[in-house]
Amino acid sequence: MMNDLWKKELPVENIKKITPVTGGDVNDAYLIETAVEPYFLLVQPRRSEDFYAAEIAGLDAMKKAGITAPGVVGYGQIEGDAYLLLEYLEEGTGSQSDLGEMVANMHLEHQKDGQFGFHLPHEGGDFSFDNTWTDSWSELFINERMDQFKERLAEQGLWGEADLEVYDKVRRIMKDKLDEHESEPSLLHGDLWAGNYMFLSDGRPALFDPSPFYGDREFDLGATTVFGGFTDDFYDAYEKTYPLSDDAWERIRFYKLYLLMVHLMKFGSVYAPSVNRTMDEIMKT
């Protein structure tokens, strides 16, 4: 609940109104209206300001790569809660082709030392990753991400022995396929679903709410396939800007599985059928 202390401590003046808005499942979110311009505020209860460090670094990296993203106005901690104050972006309509081209250009930004990972850990509401730099995409994705989710799903009672056996089979397929694939560490949004892009009032596409790291670009594309919101025009423009290999869509299923496992862990067994179906699809390739 916003109070007078928040109005005093936030790094903007003449706040007229603070209104709760939809901000996803991780943060509390607010529209800050001032005498001059609006702002967008994210709040993470009972966390230090370090919670937003990776997101801030990701927004900075995207903007340096020429990607339209909200600017950071301020961040810190008030009453024991972390906050991130962002430029407010006015929503409009735009072209999926422009969005596809922009995402491809982001992926053309490669880590200069050929390393996979990030210099800051990923902090989520329910889980975190240390993003330790590695020479191997397979190691980062399978060992440090997928295997962690497997353990968490088992600990939470969402996966039993039969599920773990299926996962082990899928894991072997993923490991073999990724070892054969020449990955390059691209700058990734890290959570590229339809809720994390928008078109501005001037028609430009913009990205926000990143979970950044350098990884195989197919990871981001896998996220686009889960909940819809990306059309053929998006993928066609992406391909023209940064063509994929012929077998890319076989591996993209791995990253669809990843995101479905995240949702199974966070929201429970309603996602179990989708996870099981995707694992079956991988085993049939």
CA distance 217 to 30: 32
Annotation marks residue 147 as catalytic: no
CA-based angle 167:170:175, to the nearest 5?
Answer: 120
Tokens of 8: 């005093």
> Which of 191, 209, 216, 220 is flagged as catalytic?
191
Which DSSP state fits 201? T
CA distance 227 to 204: 22
Which DSSP state fits 69? -
CA distance 235 to 222: 12
Which DSSP state fits 145? I
Which DSSP state fits 116? B
- Chain-centre distance for alpha carbon 69: 14
Is the Cβ–Cβ distance between 228 and 256 less than 8 Å? no
Nearest one of 274, 261, 224 to 244, comparing CA atoms: 224
- The total of other beta-carbon atoms located within 10 Å of residue 121's CB is 16
Catalytic residue numbers, as ranges: 191
